[in-house]
A and B are shown apart, each in its own frame.
Chain A
Amino acid sequence: MSKTVSIRKGLDIRLKGEAIKEISTLPLSELVSISPLDFHGLNPKLVVKEGDTVKAGDAIFFDKAHESVMYCTPASGVVKAIVRGEKRRILEVLIETDAEQNYRQSDPINVANATLEEVKSKMLENGLWPLVKQRPLDVVADPNQTPKAIFVTAFDSSPLAPDFNFVLEGREKDLQAGLIVLSKLTTGKVHFNINPNQSSAFSSISGVEINKFSGKHPAGNVGTQIHHIDPINKGEFAWTLNAIDVAIIGHFFNTGIFDLTRTIALTGSEVSNPQYYKVVPGTSMESIVSGKVKGNHVRYISGNVLTGERKELNNYLGYYHNQVTIIPEGDHYKFFLTQGWLGLGFDKFSNSRLFPTFLMPKSKKFVLDTNTNGEERAFVVTGELDRVFPFDILPMQLVKAAITNDIDGMENLGIYEVAPEDFALCEYVCTTKINIQDKIRQGLDVIAKECM
């Protein structure tokens, strides 16, 4: 039975720099990186050496814990370098790309008749498995588990997020095939969660439960959707994806080609012409942003401002990211009466009503920088996290349990349902300025070690 849910708790952070609906294709960057660090908790074992020639879709490394899960290169070329860090930990594998891209060609598969084993082994071998994540823990799914349901979010509600309708235009067939593939993987349902205004765009989708989620961010977060449809209890597994990744999976089964090309949105107040670009994950940031940046002291973020990763120009686009955001750095002093803590604050977007901006019309957009706007403090203010956290979970108590390594507390308070991204808004609004997402991740790591 499909559900319609309206999310009332939450916050839409109104930032300047939304992408206009125009797509350009960027030339493939000279180097493409595939990094084990994009997959939390992954312990990689390399299958290539420096100097090897690889096609797009060839395995680069696999997961030592689940040896069947292959991680494949999105671009063809020569393995130029294996970058290692402390204790010879693999940081990334750099591929020098060919001018003409070669894809590893498999036979297309008719998904309607495919069996579970067939689908699974194809996905594992061909690098599609890492697109499937699991809850609890928010890591790449464990292929040996059977999920109670699979949740696909068909929209992104985070600040300046790409419009999935636009990005997926013309890919309905891939999306549909991908959803059929997913339905083979679970004994339960596949939930396809859309925004009410997407009803027409995805009207052709069938064979899955279509749920509607409206309201503020985090309505588009898959964690929010799971909680309101079929919450995860201890011992249960749910798998999660977003619709763009489902289309990538579907495309492989339809054509036999592993094509990770994504349509990403280049957004943020410091972008001169925010718009969409077609790139593969692992493309260098420089090739994405060069010549398109307004400010001279900016932060490049792979992903959105709430959950994305900080990147330098010589870093690479993250594996899961559909967005690049550029915002001003805030590493300068702000005099307390003008721009600082006691100023009028017409430029400060806040969830509290301590700034006059709460009176401003909804159309007003803001330029926010990376300044924390204050120092770290103990928890003093209560109730502010609850206002942006649409779960029947007590956020502050759970965060405290995570900070204090209280395993029983975390279990009781619902750690199995959440991922760090669910706490991104809490982190944004919290007066303490504590890195809450990081604390939740550490809590999940403890749970992974002790309880899974």
Chain B
Amino acid sequence: MKFLENILHKMEPNFVKGGKYEKWNPLFETMATFAFTPKLVTTKGSHIRDGVDLKRTMMTVILAMIPCLLFGIYNTGHWEMVAATGDRNLSYFADYADKFFNGLVIVLPLIVVSYGVGLGIEFLFGMLRGHSLHEGFLVSGMLIPLTMPADVPLWMVGVATAFAVVIGKEIFGGTGMNVVNIALTARAFLFFAYPTSMSGDKVWMAGTEMDGVSGATALGDLATFMTDKPVYENLSGFTNEYTVWESFSGMIPGSVGETSTLACLIGAGILLITGVGSLRIMASFFAGGLAMGLLLNVVGGNSYFDLPAYYHLIIGGFAFGAVFMATDPVTAAQTATGKIIYGFLGGFLAILIRVLNPAYPEGVFLAILFMNISAPLVDYYVIHANVNRRLKRIKTA
């Protein structure tokens, strides 16, 4: 590695202030600090510093998403094949290579577009502001394709990513300054700007334009219980089509990375063991969802209301949202108590929106976006409780 280091040494003078390519310094610095932890040393205060840095933290999140990604690729390939053959009951465990390859052909461009557009814009802002790339988008860039329907046009992914990075993040000051989650901003943008491409029953399987094949998701089907023309006559019709195991393992149509609760839980394990993800948020998010599900069970009177509460946690993007979206530390509540309140309300609202608002079959991303906006309010009250404890001390003394 001495060789690479020497090259860097040689190039460095061109990029520092006053050098030939001074303007390109952010780009150079990004590359250099990627390849080598820089030789910065402590100047003030503590002379030693923890090994942890934002790059490693973000890389761990990406690592945690790999199970979701791999499963998502295979799942996408499977449903593409279902759509192509028109056979809904196609065996899930066959033609592994074909399905994985087909899935890759669909998913890889999504990832490339998301990272390409996002990082391009980040670099642009970095050069304008004179700083190297900050790591936040490394995670957002992977989250965005995982929340997309397989059939979404690539240009839409590009537009949504651009919108999310510029409006969601850079105008607030970049990584660490954004108010709402970037990936969800992209998702929400598409949802509201191009609703026909993001919902309904035509988008979830790649290439579904054939008669006789419904490409709807479990949530889409469920939402029809709230209308006059349900897809299934009763709840058991639904649970036969989407068994607990299929829903949990993710062998159902849906956005690329969100279907498998199992893969999400593997990711959650990685995040929790390394301490990157907040157990408080994840656990309370699931608890909130379960609580709302049970509450609906108690109310009853409608097949959707009667859906067993645990089903809510394993279908749609609930687990994915709980593990990867709600835990985004920048947009979540920042105090320990606040995190519990934030997570619980997020899960609670997600199921509320999902069931009671037929216009939005999936409530998770809306609920998390809403809680992103509310997180500072939650924190405000937690901080005030702390301040009041201190003030009380004077009065009692």
* A residues in contact (CB < 8 Å) with B: 13, 231, 233-234, 299, 301, 305-308, 310, 325, 327, 329-336, 338-342, 345, 348-355, 368-375, 377-383, 386, 392-394, 396-397, 412-414, 420, 424, 427-433, 435-438
Q: In the docked arrangement, what's the CA distance between A340 and B335, Å?
A: 31
User: Which residues from B are CB-within-8-Å of A231?
Assistant: 393
Known A336-B35, A371-B37; judge A301-B1 contact (CB<8 A): no
Is B10 an interface position by the 8 A CB rule? no
**Interchain residue pairs with CB less than 8 A apart (16):** A329-B41, A333-B37, A350-B52, A351-B50, A354-B51, A371-B40, A374-B49, A378-B175, A378-B176, A381-B57, A382-B329, A382-B334, A383-B278, A392-B386, A396-B334, A427-B45
Partner of B54, one of A307, A342, A370, A380: A380
A379 to B134, CA, bound (A): 12
Of chain B, the residue at the smallest CB distance from A345 is B51
Question: Which chain B residues lie closer than 8 Å to A383 at the CB level?
Answer: 278, 329, 334, 336, 339
Of B269-277, B290-298, B351-359, which binds chain A? B269-277
**Inter-chain contacts of B278 with A (CB < 8 A):** 382-383
Contacts of B42 in A (CB 8 A): 370-372
Contact indicator A341/B53 (Cβ below 8 Å): yes
Contacting A at CB under 8 A, from B80-96, are none
When C-beta atoms are compared, the residue in chain B nearest to A339 turns out to be B37
- Pick from B37, B56, B132, B393: contact of A354, CB below 8 A: B56
- Interface positions of B from 156 to 176, Cβ below 8 Å from A: 173-176
Please tell me if the beta carbons of A424 and B56 are within 8 angstroms of each other in the complex. Answer: no
Min Cβ gap A290→B in Å is 21
Q: How far is the CA of A340 from the CA of B37 in the complex (A)?
A: 5
Query: Assuming A379-B176, A397-B383, is B46 touching A424 (CB within 8 A)?
Result: yes
Query: Does B332 lie within 8 Å of A382, measured CB to CB?
Result: yes
Task: Decide yes or no: A330 and B35 within 8 Å by CB, A377-B175, A380-B176, A435-B44 being known contacts.
Answer: no
- For the complex, give the distance between the alpha carbons of A305 and B329 in Å: 29
Partner of A305, one of B1, B48, B135: B48
Give me the 7 closest cross-chain CB pairs, A-B, nearest first. A374-B53, A378-B176, A348-B51, A340-B37, A437-B45, A333-B36, A334-B37
> Do residues B54 and A374 form an inter-chain contact, with CB atoms below 8 A?
yes
Report B-chain residues with C-beta under 8 Å of the C-beta of A369. 48
Residue numbers of B with Cβ under 8 A of A are 1, 4-5, 8, 33-57, 59-60, 132, 134-136, 173-177, 273-276, 278, 329-330, 332, 334-336, 339, 383, 386-387, 389-390, 393-394, 397
A13, A327, A334, A394: the one contacting B335 at CB < 8 Å is A394
- CB contacts (< 8 Å) of A371 on chain B: these are 37, 39-42, 49
Contact A305:B336 (CB < 8 A) given known A231-B393, A353-B273, A371-B41 = no
Contacts between chains A and B (CB distance < 8 A), count: 205
- Please name all residues of chain B whose beta carbon is closer than 8 Å to the beta carbon of A341 when the two chains form the complex: 37, 53, 55-56, 59
Name the A residues within 8 Å of B273 (CB-CB): 353
The smallest C-beta distance from B37 to any residue of chain A, in angstroms, reads 4
Measured between beta carbons, the chain A residues less than 8 angstroms from B389 are 392
Instruction: Name the distance in Å between A251's Cβ and chain B's nearest Cβ.
Output: 31
Q: Are B44 and A438 in contact (CB under 8 A)?
A: yes
**CB atoms of A335 and B4 under 8 A apart:** yes
**Contacts A341-B37, A432-B54 supplied; 9 other A-B pairs, CB < 8 Å:** A341-B56, A342-B59, A349-B50, A374-B54, A375-B53, A380-B175, A382-B332, A414-B390, A431-B52
The answer to whether B37 and A336 touch across the interface, beta carbons within 8 angstroms, is yes
Docked-complex contact B39 and A331, CB < 8 angstroms? yes
Residues from chain A with Cβ under 8 Å of B43 in the complex: 310, 435
Specify the chain B residue showing the minimal Cβ separation from A340: B37
Whether the Cβ atoms of B136 and A380 lie closer than 8 Å is: yes
> Which residue on chain A has the smallest CB distance to residue B384?
A412
Q: How far is the CA of A430 from the CA of B52 in the complex (A)?
A: 8
Q: A394 — which chain B residues lie within 8 A by C-beta? A: 335, 383, 386
Q: Give Cα A30–Cα B276 distance, bound, in whole angstroms.
A: 53
Question: Does the CB pair A301–B47 fall under 8 Å?
Answer: yes
When C-beta atoms are compared, the residue in chain B nearest to A427 turns out to be B46
From A353, A380, A437, name the one whose CB has the most chain B CB atoms within 10 angstroms.
Answer: A380
The answer for the CA separation of A333 and B34 in the assembled complex, in Å, is 11
Q: Could you say which residues of chain A place their CB within 8 Å of the CB of B334?
A: 382-383, 396-397
- Residues of A within 8 Å of B40, CB to CB, are 331, 371-372, 375
Contact B386 A393 (CB under 8 A): yes
A330 near B41 (CB under 8 angstroms)? yes
Q: Which residues of B contact A429 (CB under 8 A)?
A: 50, 52
Partner of B55, one of A330, A342, A355: A342
- Name B45's contact: one of A13, A345, A351, A436 (CB within 8 Å): A436
From B37, B386, B394, A373 is in contact (CB under 8 Å) with B37
With a cutoff of 8 Å between Cβ atoms, the chain A residues found around residue B390 in the complex are 233, 392, 412, 414
A25 to chain B, nearest CB (A): 28
| Chain B residue at minimal CB-CB distance from A337 | B1
Asked if B50 and A430 make an inter-chain contact with CB atoms under 8 angstroms apart, the answer reads yes
| Residues from chain A with Cβ under 8 Å of B47 in the complex | 299, 301, 305-306, 308, 310, 325, 327, 370
Shortest C-beta distance, A414 to chain B (Å), equals 6
Q: Is the CB of B275 within 8 A of A352?
A: yes
Which A-chain residue is minimally distant from B332 (CB atoms)? Answer: A382
Asked whether B274 lies within 8 Å of A352 as measured between CB atoms, the reply is yes
Residues of chain B within 8 A (CB-CB) of A353 are 273-275
Contact of A335 among B35, B53, B274, B275 (CB under 8 A): B35
CB A312 to nearest CB in B, in angstroms, measures: 14
Q: Is the CB of A233 within 8 A of B397?
A: yes
Residue of B nearest to A393 (CB): B386
- Which residues of chain B have C-beta atoms less than 8 A from A307's C-beta? 45-46
Among B59, B173, B278, B334, the most chain A Cβ lie within 10 Å of the Cβ of: B334
A301 to B40, CA, bound (A): 18
Distance to closest chain B CB from A383 (angstroms): 6
- Contact partner of A437 among B4, B35, B44, B48, CB < 8 A? B44
Flag if A333 contacts B132 (CB, 8 Å): no
Kindly list chain B residues whose C-beta atoms are within 8 Å of the C-beta of A330.
39, 41
Partner of B41, one of A301, A372, A392, A412: A372
Which listed residue, A378, A412, A431, touches B134 by the CB 8 Å rule?
A378
CB-CB < 8 A to A13: which residues of B?
48
> A375 touching B132 by the CB < 8 A rule?
yes
Select which of B5, B45, B387 is within 8 A of A413 by beta carbon. Answer: B387
**Complex Cα–Cα for A420 and B282 (A):** 34
Most A Cβ at <10 Å: residue of B47, B175, B274? B47
Note all chain A residues with C-beta closer than 8 A to B394. Answer: 233-234
Q: Which residue of A lies closest to B33 (CB)?
A: A375
Contact of B48 among A370, A431, A435 (CB under 8 A): A370
Q: How far is the CA of A299 from the CA of B49 in the complex (A)?
A: 14
Q: Which residues of B contact A431 (CB under 8 A)?
A: 50, 52-54, 57
Q: Is the CB of B48 within 8 A of A368?
A: yes
